[in-house]
């Protein structure tokens, strides 16, 4: 059957956008599967034997600290705090209260490697916003219990990253440059009861898996809608209209 050029343009566009919708839908399903695997791995870590200094450094040297089998693995580290480089991340919540996440570098003994510890949450003074919370930092060797974690997620902050002790986000490269410390690319999230002016009731990580399934459904539905509209207007509705036109023409 001969078709005009418009038919082929419409066909190409419908095929392109239908396939694009399918591709995006399957991509969302793949993202959901990845996050489900990470969530399962995180839950499986809870009962494992804590890693010590040497084991953490060995895994870091292999570049494995962000693997699903290592993230959130319990650790028990020994080292000394570097309190002069403590950072207070602003607008962070714990138990629906807004305050600071307090981050301090820990120098591991005797290896000398330095990593950032998310020590806990502290309230802020909303009347004197530049006042730092009363956090105590022990001197000498300390033992830190916690788990392997990523750098805290970034909040929206216009302009350049902050440089003072109070910041909205931690830019790891900038922080390395400012402190002169050779920091590992991961953090440790300290656990335990409240102490040193800090609370450590960390919220469960929300992976947003349901969101990916919802997006996948939307993309598949859009792809199906485009294909359905194309078939309706190009193959079902058009012949009916053509037959009616021929009948009207014959009556004249």
Contact between 27 and 212 under an 8 Å Cβ cutoff? The reply is: no
pLDDT band at residue 208 using 50, 70 and 90 as cut-offs? confident
Whether 11 and 107 share a structural domain = no
Helix, strand, coil tally for the chain in percent (to 5)? 40, 25, 35
Quote the number of domains for the chain: 2
Coil vs helix vs strand at 150:
coil
Whether 150 and 216 share a structural domain = no
Parallel, antiparallel or unpaired: strands 87-94 and 166-167: parallel
Whether 70 and 191 share a structural domain = yes
Whether 126 and 189 share a structural domain = yes
Q: Tell me which H or E stretch contains 99.
A: strand 97-108
Asked if residue 44 belongs to a domain, the reply is: no
Site of tokens 């038919």: 7
The domain of 240 spans: 7-36+210-251
pLDDT band at residue 39 using 50, 70 and 90 as cut-offs? confident
Whether 134 and 241 share a structural domain = no
Task: Answer yes or no: is pLDDT of 18 > 90.
Answer: yes
Asked if residue 41 belongs to a domain, the reply is: no
Whether 107 and 155 share a structural domain = yes
Whether 26 and 126 share a structural domain = no
Task: Answer yes or no: is pLDDT of 246 > 50.
Answer: no
DSSP 198: B
Coil vs helix vs strand at 124:
coil
pLDDT band at residue 192 using 50, 70 and 90 as cut-offs? very high
Instruction: Look at the pTM and tell me if it is higher than 0.75.
Output: no
Q: What is the mean pLDDT of residues 42-49?
A: 76
Whether 197 and 214 share a structural domain = no
């Amino acid at each position: 059957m001969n078709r005009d050029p418009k038919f082929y343009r419409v066909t190409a566009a419908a095929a392109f956008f239908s396939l694009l919708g399918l591709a995006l839908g399957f991509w969302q399903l793949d993202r959901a599967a990845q996050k489900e695997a990470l969530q399962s791995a995180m839950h499986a870590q809870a009962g494992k034997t804590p890693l010590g200094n040497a084991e953490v450094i060995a895994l870091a040297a292999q570049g494995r600290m962000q693997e699903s089998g290592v993230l959130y693995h319990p650790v028990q580290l020994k080292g000394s705090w570097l309190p002069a480089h403590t950072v207070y991340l602003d607008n962070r919540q714990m138990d629906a209260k807004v305050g600071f996440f307090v981050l301090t570098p820990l120098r591991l003994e005797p290896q000398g490697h330095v990593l950032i510890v998310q020590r806990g949450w502290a309230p802020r003074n909303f009347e004197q916003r530049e006042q730092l919370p009363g956090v105590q930092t022990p001197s000498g060797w300390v033992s830190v219990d916690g788990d392997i974690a990523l750098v805290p997620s970034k909040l929206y902050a216009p302009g350049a990253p902050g440089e003072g002790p109070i910041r909205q986000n931690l830019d790891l490269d900038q922080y390395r440059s400012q402190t002169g410390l050779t920091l590992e690319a991961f953090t440790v999230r300290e656990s335990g009861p409240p102490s040193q002016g800090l609370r450590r009731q960390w919220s469960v990580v929300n992976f947003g898996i349901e969101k990916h399934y919802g997006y996948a459904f939307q993309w598949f539905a859009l792809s199906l809608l485009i294909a359905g509209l194309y078939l309706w207007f190009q193959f079902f509705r058009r012949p009916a209209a053509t037959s009616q036109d021929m009948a009207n023409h014959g009556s004249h």
